[in-house]
């Protein structure tokens, strides 16, 4: 962009120095209109040197003391006095305090124009009126960027042209409101149904200037400059007709249209077809361009607030069809307003320097940006985009267009906003009341990236990634957040129609979802996901659904996050939802402590992190088979829940595995394994092989109720439970060697059931003193062997504090057992083995042995 500013500065310098380059023919004696009354041009007596001629410097400048003076050229002049229709130089003015001197071309036709070879000057007190006639200023040399042509100065009362032609294309400068080389005054040019062909056209150069064109055909050989001097105001309006100014003499990026060079330039266009080259609105001054209804206008690269931090430019579109390759707000204040019509521009850049303050305001119509919209801002200035009506589209056929808010604000009201990709950084912010969608189109992958203090606020609206705000849409939407904030009403990731949504939070990212958060996809082999690698995600009011359809994944590795309720997978088998917990802290608020009212698991891999669900529950297998696993390599797992339901809905199996030695899970009210009958009910299995599981509270009223399934307490693990309940035939508890079980109350065991599945009823184990929760703790014979010749040794398991009697029976089929030994008392309380030797027992006929409990 620096090259653009340089070109404009170079033009200013050129204007200043051009006077030294201007070349005039040898000066002739002035031919002055001397008649103190109105008269005809061709009458010799009206002039000091006779009728004007090709070598004359003609002046209509004498005093008009009693009435305005009008000098007339008409059809008679142009047809019968053609020798007077060419002059070297022409000046029209009058002294101060005098009436106006006016030259009138009235129906002189176009075939023989009034031809001024060198300079045409209309100064204060002078006027020029042209009806159905032609005027040409031409020294025969075609200027480009070097001052080789003539000069035209339209100051004074008014230059008025109707149904006429003014050709100043060979004049380097045509000015309204002050000469390029100094002098002049306020100017006014008004043309209707005319053809106007200047080379360089200046309006309001040193003084105020006004130019009005009604249904004219305008072709500018070089360009337009308005508001040259600091206090000069240039005003120009075009209503109807055509205007072309498209040359590239100074390169395609050098502005041809300069509105407000140092002063003020205001341009209004309506009902016209316009083609312009590069345009600057507010170079070092203030400029405005207003294009109204029924205008079709194409511009080159367009710049607002180009060369000075104090410059300003306003571009207003109200009913026009506008197109350009690029639109830039460079150094000063630039405002683009679209109220109606269409603006088509591939590249828009607002606020390109630290001093720039720009805005794009859409209140109606359609704005199409096919490559990029970039907004920059800083602490000294602000930049922004607003859409409160109409539509702003930043998109293309391949869906690669990008909106970059590198600071500044994007305000989205009642209008339509659609961007393929959005990048927010350096405090850039979006505030909207409508849904914000990324990745809606099949085959497209679009991104939303926030960083460096940026914000996205959606009020009563949805952020949709890979969907159209609900469950449709087939593209891929990817969002990342670092040191940024998103606040939305609803968050939808993916769709059931083929869309995928992926959201990742990094450090210092703040995501707030006021209502529901949903993660879905269209199949079990395509995954939408939310990944929390830091920051904070808060969904404290609604339901977070992961994989209610298709496949969804929640991954948390760091940060501090709060959810009201999380449902993983679906209850109809059509979705799979997973939670990969690696680290960080999760607060689960829940809607109660019953099944399905907190965290509803499909599958959970818990490798780290702290889960605080002290006021709610974890339900495993609610509508699907489910597994929650804390593997042995997990580190620093911490969990607190009010309740855990392992195996809840009929026909499904839930599994909870805790293997990590450092893991601690605390349940303060109840843990229930299984539900329903033993045939069709839900089954729940727990394998505690590492760490500590607490089912306890301060009043020791917490319960572990094994209804249908098996609880395995393995070596190296510890279970602390207030109340252990085993009152079901299909509920089992297996305490393996090395497992530590601490109960605050005696286990509640139904006598006729077998809690540990070792084949002995709970009542039998109670009589034998064995552990009813340990299948290896049994009262059984270990063996019968012959020893010491003909003796028989019988060995069995024992529990200290019990006595045993060995019995024999010679006929197992019909005989009865009778005591062989006296009661054998085992001291202490530990489990062990003992034996009894039946002396010469081998000399008897066939004998059967058994051991019974003694008195």
Per-residue pLDDT tens digits for 214-231: 999 999 999 999 999 999
Burial class (CB within 10 angstroms; exposed 0-12, middle 13-18, buried 19+) of 96: exposed
> What pLDDT sits at residue 382?
61
pLDDT of residue 842: 86
Q: Which of 367-381, 464-478, 565-579 has the lowest mean pLDDT?
A: 367-381
Task: Supply the pLDDT for residue 22.
Answer: 36
At 768, is the secondary structure helix, strand, or coil? helix
pLDDT band at 750; cut points 50, 70, 90: confident
**Whether pLDDT at 380 is above 90:** no
Q: What pLDDT is stored for residue 378 in this prediction?
A: 54
Is residue 387 scored above 70 in pLDDT?
yes
Q: Which of 552, 615, 598 is nearest to 578 (CA)?
A: 552
Query: Rounded mean pLDDT of the chain?
Result: 92
End-to-end CA distance of the chain: 106
Mean pLDDT of 728-757: 91
Higher pLDDT, 146 or 335: 335
Q: Report pLDDT digits (tens) over 87-109.
A: 999 999 999 888 999 999 999 99
Residue 621 and residue 603: Cα distance in Å, rounded? Answer: 9
**569 confidence band (pLDDT: 50, 70, 90):** very high
Residue 232 and residue 345: Cα distance in Å, rounded? 31
State pLDDT tens for residues 517-547.
999 999 999 999 999 999 999 999 999 999 9
For the stretch 763-802, pLDDT in tens is 888 888 888 888 888 999 999 999 988 899 999 999 999 9
pLDDT (tens digit per residue) in 62-86: 988 789 999 999 999 999 999 999 9
pLDDT at position 5:
37
Q: Chain-centre distance of CA 641, in angstroms?
A: 37
For the cut 50, the answer to whether the pLDDT of residue 13 exceeds it is no
**Considering the chain, what percentage of its residues have pLDDT values greater than 90?**
80
Confirm if 67 and 102 have CB atoms less than 8 A apart. no
- More confident: 691 or 841: 691
Please give the Cα distance from 343 to 322 (Å, whole number): 5
CATH 3.30.43 fits 781-853, yes or no: no
d(CA 820, CA 645): 52
pLDDT band at 377 (very low <50, low <70, confident <90, very high): low
Radius of gyration in angstroms for the set of CA atoms belonging to the chain, rounded to a whole number: 48
Mean pLDDT of all residues in 560-588: 96
Q: What is the pLDDT of residues 549-564, one digit of tens each?
A: 999 999 999 999 999 9
pLDDT of residue 28: 64
Supply the pLDDT for residue 593.
98
């Amino acid at each position: 962009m620096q090259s653009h500013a340089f070109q404009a500065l170079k033009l200013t310098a050129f204007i200043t120095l051009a006077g030294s380059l201007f070349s005039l023919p040898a000066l002739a004696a002035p031919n002055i209109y001397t008649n103190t009354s109105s008269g005809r041009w061709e009458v010799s007596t009206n002039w000091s040197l006779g009728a004007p001629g090709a070598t004359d410097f003609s002046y209509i400048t004498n005093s008009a003391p009693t009435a305005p003076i009008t000098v007339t050229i008409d059809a008679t002049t142009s047809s019968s006095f053609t020798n007077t229709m060419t002059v070297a130089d022409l000046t029209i003015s009058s002294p101060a305090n005098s009436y106006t001197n006016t030259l009138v071309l009235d129906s002189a036709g176009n075939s023989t124009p009034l031809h001024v070879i060198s300079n045409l000057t209309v100064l204060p007190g002078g006027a020029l009126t042209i009806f159905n006639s032609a005027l040409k200023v031409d020294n025969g040399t075609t200027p480009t960027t070097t001052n080789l042509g003539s000069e035209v100065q339209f100051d004074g009362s008014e230059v008025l042209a109707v149904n006429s032609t003014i050709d100043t294309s060979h004049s380097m400068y045509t000015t309204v409101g002050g000469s390029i080389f100094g002098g002049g005054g306020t100017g006014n040019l008004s043309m209707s149904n005319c053809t106007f062909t200047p080379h360089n056209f200046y309006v309001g150069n040193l003084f105020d200037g006004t130019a009005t064109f009604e249904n004219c055909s305008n072709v500018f050989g070089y360009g337009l400059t308005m508001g040259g001097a600091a206090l000069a105001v240039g005003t120009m309006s075009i209503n109807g007709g055509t205007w072309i100014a498209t040359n590239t003499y100074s390169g395609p990026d050098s502005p041809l249209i300069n509105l407000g060079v140092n002063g003020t330039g205001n341009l209004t266009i309506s009902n016209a077809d316009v083609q312009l080259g590069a345009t600057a609105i507010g170079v070092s001054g203030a400029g405005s361009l207003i294009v109204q209804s029924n205008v079709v206008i194409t511009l080159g690269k367009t710049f607002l607030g180009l060369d000075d931090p104090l410059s300003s430019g306003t571009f207003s579109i109200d009913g026009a069809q506008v197109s350009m390759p690029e639109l830039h707000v460079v150094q000063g204040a630039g405002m683009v307003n679209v109220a109606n019509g269409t603006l088509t521009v591939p590249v828009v850049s607002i606020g390109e320097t630290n001093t720039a303050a720009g805005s794009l305001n859409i209140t109606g119509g359609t704005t199409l940006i096919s490559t990029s919209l970039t907004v920059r801002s800083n602490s000294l200035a602000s930049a922004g985009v607003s859409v409160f009506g109409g539509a702003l589209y930043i998109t293309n056929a391949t869906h690669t267009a990008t909106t970059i808010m590198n600071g500044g604000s994007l305000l989205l009201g009642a209008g339509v906003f659609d961007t393929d990709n959005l990048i927010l950084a350096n405090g850039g912010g979006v505030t909207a009341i409508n849904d914000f969608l990324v990745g809606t189109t099949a085959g497209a992958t679009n991104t939303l990236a926030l960083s460096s203090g940026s914000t996205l606020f959606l009020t009563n609206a949805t952020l949709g990634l890979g969907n159209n705000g609900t469950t449709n849409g087939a593209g891929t939407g990817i969002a990342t957040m670092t040191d940024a904030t998103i606040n939305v009403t609803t968050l939808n990731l993916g769709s059931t129609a083929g869309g995928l949504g992926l959201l990742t939070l990094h450090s210092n990212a703040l995501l707030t979802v006021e209502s529901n958060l949903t993660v879905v996809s269209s199949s079990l082999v395509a995954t939408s996901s939310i990944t929390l690698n830091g920051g904070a995600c808060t969904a404290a009011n609604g339901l977070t659904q992961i994989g209610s359809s298709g496949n969804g994944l929640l991954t948390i590795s760091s940060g501090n996050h709060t959810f009201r309720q999380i449902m993983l997978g679906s209850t109809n088998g059509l979705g799979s939802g997973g939670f990969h917990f690696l680290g960080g802290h999760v607060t689960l608020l829940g809607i109660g402590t019953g099944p399905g009212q907190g965290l509803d698991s499909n599958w959970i891999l818990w490798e780290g992190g702290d889960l605080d669900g002290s006021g709610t529950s974890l339900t495993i297998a609610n509508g699907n088979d489910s597994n929650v696993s804390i593997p042995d390599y997990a580190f620093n797992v911490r969990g607190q829940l009010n309740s855990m339901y392992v195996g809840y809905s009929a026909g499904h199996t839930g599994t909870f595995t805790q293997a990590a030695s450092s893991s601690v899970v605390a349940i303060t009210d109840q843990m229930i394994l299984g539900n329903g009958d033993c045939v069709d009910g839900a089954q729940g299995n727990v394998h505690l092989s590492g760490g500590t599981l607490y089912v306890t509270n301060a009043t020791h009223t917490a319960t572990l109720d094994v209804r249908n399934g098996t609880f395995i307490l393995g070596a190296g693990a510890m279970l602390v439970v207030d109340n252990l309940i085993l009152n079901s035939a299909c509920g089992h508890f297996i305490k393996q060697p090395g497992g530590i079980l601490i109960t605050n109350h005696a286990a509640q065991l139904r006598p006729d059931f077998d809690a540990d599945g070792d084949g002995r009823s709970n009542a039998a184990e109670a009589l034998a003193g064995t552990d009813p929760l340990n299948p290896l703790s049994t009262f059984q014979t270990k063996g019968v062997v012959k020893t010491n010749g003909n003796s028989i040794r019988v060995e069995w398991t024992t529990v200290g504090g019990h006595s045993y009697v060995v019995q024999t029976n010679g006929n197992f089929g019909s005989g009865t057992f009778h005591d062989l030994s006296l009661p054998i008392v085992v001291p202490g309380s530990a489990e062990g083995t003992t034996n009894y030797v039946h002396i010469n027992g081998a000399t008897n006929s066939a004998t059967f042995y058994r051991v019974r409990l003694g008195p």
